[in-house]
Structure 1
C-alpha cells in the first residue's frame, strides 16, 4: 500500500520493528533492570542476566511467565531493537562469546529501543490521511531516525536521544491534532491526567487527548476510544472489554498486553488481541 509511487508508506515489517527473539542475544533479559513487585518476582540489576535466561538466549519459563510472577516480561516490546543491536550493530557477536562488548551492547540497547519506538510512531503517522499536510516532515524525521539506528555502537551511546525524541514528539503532537480535529464536537483533553482506577465505563473518549495519562486499573469497558491519542498512556490492568479502539492513534501492542480485554474489544488492524485476554 502506498500514498503514491514516489513515496510509498513504510511498512512495519520492512522497517524491522517487530521483535525477533530468535535473532537477539536476550538483551531485554540482561541489559534492563527490574524490581520485585507486581510485574516481576525478583530484583535484577542492569547488565545482570535473568536467572531464567538459558544458554541459547531463550527464556526457560516462557510459557509460564505470568503464573511465575513475570508478567512484566509478557508486556515488554523492544520494537525490533534487540535483533538490530545483536545482528547489525554488533555483527552477530554475542556478549557471552565476547564479554568485552557486553557493557557497550547493554548501553546501546535502550537507545536503539527508543529509536525503534519512534520509527513505529512515525510509520503510523504516515498512514494517517489527516496528517498529509506534514507527511513530508514526518518522512524526513523517519529517514533521519533510520539513519541514526545505523550508527556505530560508540556513536549510539553518545547520541542525545532525548533531544531527538523531543523533535519527533513535536511532529507526533501535530499529527495528533490534525487527526483529532476531524472528530466532531468537543474533545476531552486528559493529557497526563491521573485516571488511576477511574470509572470510565462506556465513556465517550472519541478524539480525546490521553497522551501520557495514567489509566492504571481504569474501567474502560465499552468506552469509545476511536481517534483517541494514546501515546504513552499507562494501561496496566485497565479493563478494555468491549471498548472501541479502532482508529485510535499511537497505541502499541505492549500497551494492550498490559491491559485487560475480551473478544468484543475492537482494535486497530496493526495490533492483535493478547493471548491472556
Structure 2
C-alpha cells in the first residue's frame, strides 16, 4: 500500500483499501505460474493464501514466496467500490453462486474505470492542461457515473470504447503538459526499450506512453515532465533517476520497478518499501 499522502493526483478513494474489500483481486483475477506468481490460479477461484477473513496469509512474505505480482498490484479503489457499493457489503462467500460470479465479472470493469478516474483526476491537477479542464471534468463525472451502474449493466459495459474517448483527452493533456519542456521533446510512444541502456538519458518532457522499458537501465535519467501512461517499468532501474513532475505514473508501475533513496518522485506516488531492501 502507499506510504504517503499526496497533494497531486488522486485521493485515497482511488487507492486499494483491502480492509473494505472482500479479497476480490485474490479471487476474480487469474494468474499463471511465472516470475510473478508461484502457481496457476484460474479466474473465479480463491487464491490458496486467502484466509476466511479475506486477508492474505503470506502478506509479509509475498516476494519471498514467489508472489511478486501481488506486491505490484493496485485496484485503484475498485475493490471497496464493488464490495461496499455495487453489492452493498455482501460477501461473495455468502452470496448465491450466480451473484458471486457477477461480482467477479464486474470487478475488472470497475478497476479499469477507477484507473481512468486516477488519470483524469491527475490531469485536472495539471495547470498546463487548463484549456481542457472543462472537458476533463465532464469525462470524470461520466466515468464516476459508470462505476455506479447496477451489476448487470457494468458487466455488459463496453469499457474499451469509453477508454478510447477518455484517451483523446489524456493525449491532449499530455501535449499541453509537455509543451513547456526545454529542448527537443522525444517521442518514444510504444517504443521497444526492453533492456535499453538509458543511464543518465535526457528524457525531459518525453512521451513514453506504452513504452516497453522492462529491465531498462534508467540510472540517473532525467524524466522530469515525462508522460509515463501505460509504460511497462517492470524491473527497470530507476536508481537516482529524477521523475519530478512526471505524470500519469501509477503506483503499480513504480512498484514493479527498482529504485533507491536517491530516486526523485512526483508527489502522486509513494516510494515502494521494497526499494530499500533491493537497493
Same fold? TM cut 0.5? yes
| RMSD, matched Cα | 1.2
The one of 111, 114, 117 aligned to 1:116: 114
Taking the aligned partners of 1:128 and 1:13, their CA distance within structure 2 comes to 15
Q: Which residue of 1 aligns with 2:41?
A: 44
Match of 1:32 among 29, 33, 46: 29
Post-superposition Cα deviations, 1:171-226, rounded to whole Å, max 9, x if no partner, equal: 00000000111112211111111100000000000000100000000000000001
| Cα deviation code 1:117-143 (max 9, x no counterpart) | 000000000010110000000000000
Q: Deviations over 1:133-169 (max 9, x none)?
A: 0000000000000111111001101111000000001
CA distance in structure 2 between the aligned counterparts of 1:60 and 1:189, rounded to whole angstroms: 44
How far off its partner does 1:11 sit? 7.1
Distance 1:141 1:248 in 2: 22
Normalised to the residue count of structure 2, the TM-score between the two structures is 0.94
Structure 2, gaps ≥5 residues long? 1-6
State which of 100, 103, 109 in structure 1 corresponds to 2:101. Answer: 103
Match of 1:225 among 223, 226, 246: 223
Q: CA deviation at 1:10?
A: 9.6
* Higher relative contact order, chain-length normalized (CA < 8 Å, sep 6+): 2
**For residues 184 and 199 of structure 2, what CA distance do their matches in structure 1 show?**
19
Superposition pairs of residues 118-267 of structure 1, within 5 angstroms: 118-267=116-265
1:32 Cα deviation after fit: 0.4
Matched, 1:88 2:70: no
SS for the counterpart of 1:53 is: coil
- The answer (yes or no) to whether the contact 2:9–2:118 under 8 Å persists in 1 is no
- Shift of the alpha carbon at 1:257? 0.3
Q: Is the 8 A contact 2:223 2:246 kept in 1?
A: yes
Runs (4+) of structure 1 exceeding 2 A deviation are: 9-14
Q: Given the alignment of the two structures, is residue 62 of structure 1 paired with residue 75 of structure 2, yes or no?
A: no
Is the contact made by 2:9 and 2:125 (CA closer than 8 Å) also made in structure 1?
no
Change (3 A) 1:106 1:67: same
Using the alignment, how far apart are the partners of 2:239 and 2:9 within structure 1? 29
What TM-score do you get using the length of structure 1 for normalisation?
0.95
**1:65 and 1:257, CA in 2 relative to 1: closer, same or farther beyond 3 A?**
same
Q: 1:76 aligns with which of 48, 51, 73?
A: 73
- The separation in 2 between residues aligned to 1:275 and 1:11, in whole angstroms, is 20
Q: Deviations over 1:16-60 (max 9, x none)?
A: 101110110101000000000000000000001100000000000
